[in-house]
A and B are shown apart, each in its own frame.
Chain A
Amino acid sequence: MSDRISVAKTYKLYIGGVFPRSESGRVYPVTDPQGKFLANAAHASRKDVRDAVVAARKAFPGWSGATAYNRGQVLYRVAEMLEGRREQFVSEVAASEGLAPSRAESLVDAAIDRWVWYAGWTDKIASVLGAANPVAGPYFSFTVPEPTGVVGVLAPQESSLLGLVSVLAPVLAGGSTAVVVSSAERPLPAITLSEVLATSDLPGGVANVLTGRAAELGPWLASHGDVNALDPTGATPEDRITLAREAAGTVKRVLTVPDAEPDWTPTPDLSRLRRYLEAKTVWHPLGV
């Protein structure tokens, strides 16, 4: 045992590029699966959700208007920062999920590789999903995918880092901005990921991370008039029905997700990227 007393970290929220405590002042203890105390996490409130949505909306024009190349570089930078903090993530994932270090290592590696995979999509997705439309008339018509806006994400409850990355990266890669509610019982890797995001040239507000309860915060995201899409992965199957009904009030895009949390390790397809993209078709006449 070292003589030195280590410096413990205070885990806070990540809103608009800064790390505030919950405006409610609430915290809750986070433990490992054996019940050993790890840290106190901020217990986000409805007001924190609203602040995060404001931050995400404010960041949307800049992020969606950035070049795809620029977004790709910023996201790749996130992967670099993840790699640099690999050991920290391994120990947090191992502690949070109660895993052997070797298993935690492979999940962290998969999360970093997942991030790189999505980073590479930013400047390709438009050529894969877009089109020049061969219309029957003297017009040039083309279709491009555009980001859908502000996305509320209820992150997976079990997979604290790989699951989180798998649901957040496609939002950002497509040019949307995110308000994420982390796993309630395993929130620590989400806050450490926020620290990575904050030091990766990702503009403040593009990703906002709240620690707290999906059951409490999900309904505020689902009914919020300035949220365009909702990923209810972290909610219970029963709660997802309520959330989807709430979301209908503003015609939100609501992801259909499997009842049980999936295995996040296989390489994904394009479906999550597609969910956060809107096809825009532009027409102009031809003529002299």
Chain B
Amino acid sequence: MSKKTISRQRVLQLLDDPEFQLAAAEYPDLYEDEIDAMNDFLRSVTPPVPEHVRAAAPTALKIIGTRQRRIEDPARLTGQALYASDVRLPDMLHVAILRSPYAHASIASIDTAAAEKLPGVRAVLTYKNAPKAVISAGPPVKAVVNQEVHFEGEEVAAVAADDMHTAREAVNLIKVQWKVLPTITDLEAVMAAGAPALIAAGTSNFSVGTPVKRGDFDTAYAASAVKLEGAFTTSTLQHGPLEPHVSVARWEGPDRLVIWASSQYMSSVRSSLASFFAMPRSHVRVSTENVGGGFGSKGGPQRDTYIAAVMAQMTQRPVRVAYDRPGNFKAATHRYAEIMRLKAGLNKDGTLKAYSLASIGDGGAYKAGTSALPPIQRVYEVNDASFQETNVITNRGMSGPMRCVGDPQGTFAQEIFVDELAEKAGMNPYDFRMKNMASVDQDHEDRKWNSFGLPEAAQKGAAAIGWSQKWHKPAGKITGTKAHGIGMALHACGHGSMSLPMTAFVRLDRDGSLDVNNSLTEIGGGQATAAMMIAAETVGVKISDAQPSWNDTGFLPDAGVTAGSRGTISAGSAMRNAALDLKYQIMQVATAGAKPMLAGKPEDVDTGDGFAFLKADPSKKVSLADVANSTGNPMLGRGTHVVPPNTSMSTFAAGFAEVEVDLDTGDVSLLRYVAAADVGKSINQLGVEQQIEGAVSMGIGLALLEEQKYDPQNNYPVNWSWENYAMPTTLDHPKWADFTPIIVEPIDAIGPYGAKGVGEPPASPPGPAIANAIYNAIGVRIHDAPLTRDKVLAAIAQMKR
């Protein structure tokens, strides 16, 4: 593939573009050229960690790889943790939001007089008095509130009042006359010739992505001994964080803005708001202490933040905007639905010869990027292939990244399809996969992966679930009305590798304790604890003497977004370099001066358990507190990390599911699930297991339950509540003893202590693994996720019984 040329000016822009940073973390494959250009630039300006400093890295690990409880857990579990939702300021106003009742419409007239007259109402925001600055230039343009709305539930007007009751009452007094505009409920009809323009006349409803091509698919397919085609769909999914979007904004004078936001990316809230109000970034301070879940939906500032800041400016009072549950279901971003068409050709011996994917992704109302490609490109070896994604506009809320962005969709299609290919080839699905597995980065000159744990993950997972004993012919084990099945899926992930920006500080206090600082928001993934472990291990303090801070852009360096499974690996890399920087300073200070605390050169010194000591004679030691007290300067380690050139990084996962299907009721019981994840070096074993569990849980939702449904006539979201948008409860998971996380640890050459990311990769295999298990149970394929009761019953009706 030819590389795009990207100017230095563009690179500088991208470095400061929070939206791009988020996209780059979530869709590294889509923005590969831009990411490479940024890395090239940053490498050119970032001095490498000097070799003598690098050499100070600890060799025997005491902290990395242990099991540590997350640092924020005690406060969270006792209800003492502060979330943005909890922030209440003196004289604070509450905002209620008027949302569009139509999927696509324009305001013909809006009358806010009655709302404004209601006692207690302090301001009403509509498109008429909204700032000229926009959130995104589009098309379609996204202002703080729009005149033209593009999905049902979109923000139309906001009322700030002394209390929430008044604000809600005032919202009900706003009268809007709508001009209803066309909407299209079918994803493919959006692309049909003559379809009404959903954005604007002359602006296409869809865009066709650049194809990824290898060799000549058509010829290879035509020559294949075995051919197969299949179409697969996945549904629109909700992130469903327990804490909806919430922001509190306060202006401290005309040019200083403070925001408390429930965000995965504090630094982007800061830079986006600074740019919106045309202020220096230093004049915006963002604080995010705890986040009640994000899963991708809180990547950048959403409208709640802009509305809070704008209305706080209008009223000169602190303003709190908290979405209610329906509002969050409707107006937060969601995982995009995909339609995926696969074709493959095999040799007689079951070797994959030709492979293609044409997919259509629902980019939503504001045209978010979509992709289902990475797992399809990576898992299986094939020389002749063609992969392409088309991105369409719909009036179905806003699409956006959600845990393992795009990959659960692609993997769902691929791993069911591969199961079918195995059957056509007359092979056991496990053997077929192992035979065709790719071991190199086929789209980058067959480079070796930095680390490659997929075969081990597959082997260990298969052994744990007892694949060779339990797999049987489709519908081959039915007892009474219960059908038993087992299924598996492999996954190579677009996430869990490194992305920019990565910066960190580590500060040694005079009592020898360690402050571990970066702005990587802790959203529950354990990144802060991992950063603390990395810093403590590297500097050589006891873990009990280290504490992380992540809650304020006022003093924390930008470590990017907590998304794309990049937190521990990207920010952790910077943290390791910052800690190395500090450690080397300790080695220098301990050996400096006329009467050095330790006699020797810096390189003769090592640290551990809060002491610096001579490597040759560890009994010659000095406490780090004494080291810190011997210099007037704060001992501050600074670190930056840039990805080395020409490296290929990927994470891998395998999933194995065992199910029982009730042939009377279509009930699917998930009896057992084994999740094997290649995480590089596991920093915090407990944290890794928690992330695997969480990811698998979301995967179970995708497989069996979750689907944001839209009215087929009007495109209204229908099940916008916890009641009807069914996320799995504990009873929908396997019993605790029957859930097995397996950590596979091929040391990654450039990750911090060999680590890679883990938050997302295990989320992709459950969908197809469970679908394949259901097929193994009943012998009828279902290609559409989620495999809800209605589809399972329809499949059972087709069984030959």
A binds B: no
A-to-B contact residues, CB < 8 Å? none
Interface residues in chain B, defined as those with a beta carbon under 8 Å from any beta carbon in chain A:
none
